[in-house]
Structure 1
């Protein structure tokens, strides 16, 4: 049996780069059009208060999409993200009730999320033919286990009632100013993480290794790049960022609910696609996903402002994703990769 393996050539690399640039340009155009439509159709859409709310919601989706972007760059998808978000959202207040200091509880939850992500990466690497379902199964197992743990001695399952620390509330939904800006600290955190991630992807050996593996596994191996190491580390980062997002969402909502991560099951994937990152790896980046996050968040805010139902919102988002995927469907890189 003959196994075909894609190896990049200058022509295919240029073609892939052009298509990514085209996707990013379309993303910027979509964002501009949506903002203009919102300003015309929805009173107060471009007001500072509404823009601040959009950025706040975008920050949570952006943090959750970081791991999904890294996974997509090597040709993987992490469907455990929403379940780790929900698990962290109820585990953190449970630890607070148990007497664990708030700062230590954050470290414990994020570390556990990273450990689960590492295990997810380990399993999916060994069974790459079933990696998509593997990550989904890991997510189900983890959120189920956390629900069992948090329901011990309680009449409630999936919901945790506990006082949320004031510093966490202020961090996730602060109404004052941070460093002179009228922005919640979580938005500032997202901007810092965004800048650091973009810099690391293009200026470190690990970042270039991610692109190398996504572009050609054979070529990456010949360069001495450990696919196993990169694969497991990015899944660990995805798990840690998912857990952090779950903790921050607790400060935003004020109560632990296991289903808080459900909307992030496909919105993280949608943000990656709309931004212009190829789901088969090697093209795109977190900056592109940030663009996709902003497009999705502005679009959702516009649809809500127009009074559309959730079902209608889903239909419109789906119609938006289809042409973005079509941009990459005829790429030589995708046609030749097996």
Structure 2
């Protein structure tokens, strides 16, 4: 049985650094402890909230529930041949630690997602992605525990219904399952992807003409660190908003008024950078007391210290309204608000 602590501060368990409390708190290291925590909450008719790395959540108030940290670890090779390897990672593993491990083993496929904060278990929930790669590109399956029946179910890629920063676990099955492990198919003969963002530019500056997966990873890390603030230095959750996808017609109309960047999608629509929209609306670098918008990346909302989650949420809504008013585009949070 995991240790249940009452009145536990979550300040060190969310990257915004917000000092809110959980009425009860537990950290689980095995699936059995996870089941015991679920039963503990059921017996007392207490809600249970699973908290990963705390990098994709905005806590606006104290939580009147049992907050559980999934600390189940382990990386296992299920099968391999000369071309590929199937790797299962426990949900409590830190995502970037998994990336580093795979690069060390020379398994390619997730190097472009280096330094994305959070845990492995949270990764498929929102189909994490960066620099031209998403987890769905290497995803095989996941195992998850049903909160009510405590039965384990294996979900295939199709069953996860991946979309842009979403999955079935954020829609139809929201709150029903707890992911316990994820299986990925990685390449032993990787072909690197350097087409997105400034990766090629960074590699060129280092004089690297034929990059390895480690080179690509290090380039991505350099770019992310130059754009995104370290949560240890200033509270933030990385990109707060999703990049909106609009119709070609709407994009063409906006092009008549603005030098708006856009990226054509497979479905015929156009993805527009939310950071560009927010910056054009005048929010970049704006500070409101202890909170604000980062001065280098308008997608990032920050807690300068002593800020409150409710104030950050109000700022996010004000930004949404401003962008909607100026461009007629709705930008949606990527962060879960509690």
Indicate the TM-score class for this superposition, using the shorter chain for normalisation: under 0.3
Instruction: Name the one with the larger helix percent.
Output: 1
Q: Which has the higher contact order (CA 8 A, sep 6+)?
A: 1
